[in-house]
Structure 1
Amino acid sequence: MGITGSKLEKALGDQFPEGERYFGLENFGNTCYCNSVLQALYFCVPFRDQVLEYGSHNKSVGENDENLLTCLAELFVQINYQKKKTGVIAPKRFVQRVKKQNELFRSYMHQDAHEFLNYLLNDLVDILEKEAKTSANGGTSQNSGIHQEKGANAVSNGYGNGGQTQPIVTWVHKLFQGTLTNETRCLCCETITARDETFLDLSLDIEQNSSITSCLRNFSSTETLNAEDKFFCDKCCSLQEAQKRMKIKVAPQILALHLKRFKYIEQLARYKKLSYRVVFPLELKLCNTADDAPGSEAEYSLFAVVVHVGTGPNHGHYVSLVKSHNHWLFFDDENVEIIDESAVQTFFGSTQEYSNSEHGYILFYERLDQVV
């Protein structure tokens, strides 16, 4: 980073805590999708703390015990304990592990940052659940970090509850998982049928000159089921017209919102990027919650944005914006810069339908009003 790095380190020394580190990540040809997501997750402090704690229990992991979480922990530890405040680190072992496990990411084609985030979080869940089961069944799991999940979240070993096990709640669940409730109201008898489902992130349809609030409102808009789409009502014992809507029943601690910027155009027989201007506020109130949701309105603060640069889904570049100690930084692979808060607005999108500019793609909000 040369002189720029020196200037950055001087600026960081004046404005940021001594223990914080701001390192760029080397790009191995097409790994900007990975780097941008990793920066967002590293500056998700509760996530980082859990990964570092996991790493402290797994300082010497053999090749046979290596997994995506041990590699992620090794990378976070490497960044966190650097002597300098700034520099560049090559996440080589982590990227190699990703490619080894998932052939989707092996090619040198442009990859999707949201697909990577989804894959990473779900794989971490799988790892932690397997270790929790091993621990609960009396086995010895070298990869610790499970102790904090015991008690209410411990596996029941199949005893009691009709021989069924309790669902395992990992720290990934505790941070990212929310619950949606799908409510269907029969228009004949007014009976409401509700079905719950969990999520780690929400994918939102977008429109030109809209906002995250309106996208969330549309996500929970009421849909009428009629004609061939009638709903089978158990109470009426027949197909009936109905109204259904999706609402948030349990709001997560970390709200990850994916803007669906890539749309399949039938006339073109391919996907096209939507450069729509979608305003995302620094502070967000989640209003589309279910009536029985704990807390009427969940309040969130934006702390990271993964940005897509380019015209389409098969080519382009990813960068990220992160908020750290009330300051915003711009991460572009190896390069790191401090930016003004007002610069975040430049990533809302364009008033033109298609443009080659930088657009917010994945938004990360942290909840301010924790519900116990």
Structure 2
Amino acid sequence: MYGHLGRIGSQALYFCVPFREQLLEYYSSHEIGADAEDNLLTCLADLFTQINLQKKKTGVIAPKRFVQRLKKQNELFRSYMHQDAHEFLNFLLNELVDILEKEDQSAKKEGGTSSPSEKTVNGPKNPQANGVQKEPLVTWVHKNFQGILTNETRCLRCETVTARDEAFFDLSLDIEQNSSITSCLKNFSSTETLNAEDKFFCDKCCSLQEAQKRMKIKKPPHILVIHLKRFKYIEQLGRYKKLSYRVVFPLELKLSNTVEDADSEYSLFAVVVHVGSGPNHGHYVSLVKSHNHWLFFDDENVEMIDESAVQTFFGSAQEYSSNTDHGYILFYESLCANKS
């Protein structure tokens, strides 16, 4: 299963061009050889380099070294049980960040400097700020995938707004039947009233007060990853159920619910599709856009598909349907050329 999931996850990330270019650059600048100590970053860089150097137009490269390292690193991925593509992506991106941060710390201990693509937030640190907590490192993983959400809570008594920022690598959206990504994003940012037992402690009023709370996107990421929450725990059943809801995801997306209220435009370039009727079994396939053509990947099988075929993976309009192929993770790239 995990050779398969590792392959599907790698395909979507490989066609994320800025991420791929920076990973290939990492590989060449670090001169990773066969005798190098393995970690997930070196294994993924090695896999991408093998694919990139492939002269043939056809053929298969199995991600054996990468999958072996993945299983060694995390016991969740050692079994043949059906595993979750979203958990895999989260684990992988966070692990890459951890490795880059450790490498940066080692380089500084040895008197080196961090690479130009791995700068600290807000420029150089204050040399006099000994003992003060350092700003986190911004790696090229952050630069591609990280966005910032702001959680705004407005006290209904004094109107004071409390804002708390949090970083994200992907947005997990609740879904409804016959909806769209746009409506899911609106629901994600909708205003919620905190009252009764959920009252908010306002620092200015020094007491619990009714309040309104909403989540907005403060800084949209360069690569917007959207995870559709298709697996829901049903208390009456005592287990998870797959929601086969039809959720329309456009090829071009305008992200309008941002703090600045300025539209951010994105283009879809990859979809990870879950095939199966339930959460504990099934299969993953992926759709990727390369050189203005859509490709369908199902393990070793690859075929070109028409752009209109993407909509067959929106989901099922009826609760009971023979269609079990549903878009699960969506990858959008910002169309803003001047984005830093």
TM-score range, shorter chain: over 0.9
Report the equivalent of 2:8: 36
In structure 2, the residue matched to 1:321 is 287
Partners of 1:281 and 1:302 within 8 A in 2:
yes
**Aligned pair partner of 2:101 in 99, 106, 129:** 129
The code of the aligned residue for 1:79 comes to I
Please say if 1:255 is aligned against 2:255.
no
* 1:43-122 → structure 2 map (5 Å cutoff): 43-61=15-33, 65-122=37-94
Q: In structure 2, the residue corresponding to 1:174 is in which secondary structure? A: helix
Q: Does 1:205 align with 2:174?
A: yes
Shift of 1:137: 2.9
CA distance in 2, matches of 1:63, 1:139: 25
Q: Provide the rounded CA distance (Å) in 2 between the counterparts of 1:33 and 1:353.
A: 27
| CA shift in 2, pair 1:176/1:30, >3 Å | closer
* Contact 1:41 1:47 survives alignment (8 Å): yes
The residue that corresponds to 1:18 in the other structure is: none
1:83 aligns to what SS in structure 2? coil
SS at the partner of 2:138?
A: coil
Look up the equivalent residue of 1:65 and give its one-letter code.
E
Change (3 A) 1:204 1:150: closer
Q: Cα deviations across residues 111-158 of structure 1 (Å, max 9, x unaligned)?
A: 1101000000000000111111222233569xxx83422476777497
Unaligned runs of 5+ in 2: none
TM-score between the two structures when normalised by the length of structure 2: 0.94
Q: How is 1:294-305 mapped onto 2 (pairs within 5 angstroms)?
A: 296-305=262-271
Alignment of 1:191 with 2:160, yes or no, is yes
> Are residues 250 and 162 of structure 1, via their aligned partners in 2, closer, same or farther at CA, if it must alter by over 3 Å?
same
Unaligned runs of 5+ in 1: 1-28
Aligned partner of 1:37: which letter?
G
Aligned ranges 1:5-24 → 2 under 5 Å = none
Which of 302, 316, 319 is the matching residue for 1:336? 302
Match of 2:324 in 1: 357
Residues 157-189 of structure 1 show CA distances to partners (whole Å, capped at 9, x for unaligned) of 975276321210000000000000000000001
2:244 to 265, 275, 280: 275
What is the one-letter code of the residue matched to 1:252? P
Matched, 1:266 2:235: yes
Deviation at 1:56, TM superposition (A): 0.6
CA deviation map 1:176-214 (0-9, x unaligned) = 000000000000011100000000001000000000000
Distance 1:135 1:147, change over 3 A: farther
**Distance verdict in 2 for CA 1:203–1:151, change over 3 Å:** closer
Which letter maps to 2:316?
Answer: S
Q: Percent identity?
A: 75
Given residue 323 of structure 1, which amino acid in structure 2 is its aligned partner? K
Deviation track 1:70-124 (CA, whole Å, cap 9, x = no partner) reads 0001000000001101211111000000000000000011111010000000000
Whether 1:218 aligns to 2:187 is: yes
Quickly say closer, same or farther: Cα 1:121–1:307, change in 2 above 3 A.
same
Q: How much does 1:64 deviate?
A: 6.6
Alpha-carbon distance in structure 1 between the residues aligned to 2:143 and 2:284: 27
Q: 1:92 to 1:159 in 2, by over 3 A?
A: farther
How many Å separate the matches in 2 of 1:210 and 1:65?
Answer: 47
Find 2:151's aligned residue among 158, 182, 187: 182
Contact 1:128 1:146 in 2 (8 A): no
Q: Which letter does structure 1 place at the counterpart of 2:13?
A: L
Deviates more, 1:195-204 or 1:154-163: 154-163
Query: C-alpha separation between the residues in 1 aligned to 2:209 and 2:183?
Result: 30
Q: Residues 371 and 76 of structure 1: is their aligned pair in 2 closer, same or farther, counting only changes over 3 Å?
A: closer
Q: Which moved more, 1:352-361 or 1:296-305?
A: 352-361
User: What SS is found at the alignment partner of 1:93?
Assistant: helix
RMSD between superposed Cα atoms in Å: 1.9
State how many pairs are aligned.
Answer: 338
**C-alpha spacing 1:314/1:268, structure 2 compared with 1 (3 Å):** same
Normalised by the length of structure 1, the TM-score is 0.87
Taking a change above 3 Å as real, the CA distance of residues 312 and 188 of structure 1, as seen in their structure-2 partners, is: same
